[in-house]
Structure 1
Amino acid sequence: MTEQSAVTVSEVLVERRAGVQLITLNRPHAKNAINENVARAVAAAVDELDADDDLRAGVLTGAGGVFSAGMDLKAFLKGERPSLPGRGLCGITQTPPRKPMIAAVEGWALAGGFEIMLACDLVVAGRGARFGVPEAKRSLVAAGGGALELANRVPRALALEMLLTGDPIDAARAESAGLVNRVVDDGGALDAACELAGRIAANGPLAVAASKRVVLESPGWGQDRWERHAEIVEPVLGSEDAREGATAFAEKRDPVWRGR
């Protein structure tokens, strides 16, 4: 049973599944190309994810067997921009959600579609999935985060190969490079991603958020990294949830998290 969210629009569907928010790009006729309406709806859904204590993780996917073919060029020519000021493409490439987000990829994740996938923390893909940043083939640059972030997710040589040739890679190569966490049979990416999100959602929300924050922020820290690490970690270690986790373990029961 799913509960439809108030932010649902026809081109972006948003559901709740036991603490997991599912966001579906719903333009299969256009290979889930991203227009301004899609961008604003995804941003609103992500804002809901971070604001709602009952939501612990998110899954982003595309309808119709395709993740996303990127920016809607027809909408672009009409003057639409699928980026939000200060937030980036779909409101997530510059300011990703505080809570974990998993991309469930079937088919193509190209250009802007690939870049919003990069804004996700984990990726589950069908075996037939393909990933690419083809902008250089049109004398463009992957400006939505591809050129900036890809080398942080895969070896530099592979990032350069993808960016300079514009050629896609398959799911097996993406997994071997560390871009994809799990490869499953075609058609199974969404279920596998929701299962993974459910395992995350079962953990202490303060610990999950702090762990993600340390991983994302620490590469820019200097000699004071342990002090900055402590600023994030110590409040979690002293929280009610930390005491509840230890108590539940001792009592051999499931913990009840309160987020404080």
Structure 2
Amino acid sequence: MSSVTYTSRNGIAEIAIDRADKYNIINHDVVRELNAAWHRFNASDDRVAILTGTGERAFTAGADLRDIPHDFWRAVPGVGVPVTKPVIAVTAGLVVGGGLVLVQMADLAVAADNTVLSYPEAKVGYSGGLISSLAARIPHKIAMELLVVGGSISAQRAYEAGLVNRVVPLGQQLAVARELAAQIAANAPLVVGMLKDYVGQVLPKGPSEAAAIARARVEAVNSAEDYHEGIAAFIEKRTPQFAGR
């Protein structure tokens, strides 16, 4: 059974963490399937993606602490996968830990009014550090209160801090996100892609984010067709035929 679903319509991909019975917590399957979904999105004709979680209780309650996916960075768009098209996060209920990282890395966000965002890892004794980039997206002291105090903020507070674009009544969040996505999908994709790229260059990257991006790129090179061709050619004592993929 899949933990992440991917649907496509009218140039809009909808990617959902589908573990509503478990508050959409993030385990190794979710990480692997989100990573695959971002690759699928990149390769598709879809022009914008909506990232959400099923149900109304949680976008995601964060990592599965009984089996922590320490490679969570692989699931994060723009970190584990260099996503070149806009991503809209759509939240309801709990947005915890890695869920907050996913929201911060999205280009836009729509929150149901029951959304509560928190980063309790300082209380748990675990963190991958990707959250540090939050301070590049919202005021420093608001970010630090979330990170080192380990408290929470409401959807309205997140809106006031600039972390989300819309706060809407519960049940309307996906419809509003689809309206935004449709507007983006109707725009010139080369312009949209260029602006997303340039904005990504303007935003500072924390140490964990930069390290994860570098690791993802190295792994992509060392698992590519050219890698296997190069090794095979060396063993077979022939000239390699590289294809650039």
> What TM-score results when the alignment is normalised by the length of structure 1?
0.74
In the alignment, which of 199, 208, 219 is matched to residue 183 of structure 2?
199
Cross-structure match for 1:35: 27
1:97 equivalenced with 2:58 (yes/no): no
In the alignment, which of 122, 135, 141 is matched to residue 121 of structure 2?
135
Name structure 1 gaps, 5 residues minimum.
Answer: 1-8, 221-260
Cross-structure match for 1:167: 151
Cross-structure match for 1:58: 49
Cross-structure match for 1:145: 130
Report if the CA contact (8 A) 1:89-1:112 is conserved. no
| Structure 1 segment 152-231 matched on structure 2, within 5 A | 152-219=136-203
Equivalent-residue separation in structure 1 for 2:76 and 2:202 (angstroms): 22
RMSD (Å) for aligned C-alpha atoms: 1.6
1:206-256 C-alpha deviation (Å, 9 max, x unpaired): 000001111110356xxxxxxxxxxxxxxxxxxxxxxxxxxxxxxxxxxxx
Report if the CA contact (8 A) 1:93-1:116 is conserved. no
The percentage of counterpart residues that share the same residue type is 38
Displacement over 4 Å in runs of 4+:
none
Residue 91 of structure 1, CA deviation: 4.3
1:17-57 C-alpha deviation (Å, 9 max, x unpaired): 210000010011111011111111111111111112x2100
Residue 69 of structure 1, CA deviation: 0.6
Letter in 2 for 1:12: V
> What TM-score results when the alignment is normalised by the length of structure 2?
0.78
Equivalent-residue separation in structure 2 for 1:81 and 1:112 (angstroms): 11
Report if the CA contact (8 A) 1:40-1:91 is conserved. no
More RCO (CA 8 Å, sep 6+): 2
Report if the CA contact (8 A) 2:76-2:105 is conserved. no
Report if the CA contact (8 A) 2:136-2:203 is conserved. no
Equivalent-residue separation in structure 1 for 2:59 and 2:66 (angstroms): 19
Residue 75 of structure 1, CA deviation: 2.5
SS in 2 for 1:67: strand
Name structure 2 gaps, 5 residues minimum.
Answer: 205-245
1:124 equivalenced with 2:110 (yes/no): yes
CA, structure 1 residues 64+144, in 2 after alignment: closer, same or farther (shift >3 Å)? farther
1:91-148 C-alpha deviation (Å, 9 max, x unpaired): 436245110000000001100111122221111000110111111112333x2511x2
CA, structure 1 residues 93+167, in 2 after alignment: closer, same or farther (shift >3 Å)? farther
Report if the CA contact (8 A) 1:89-1:116 is conserved. no
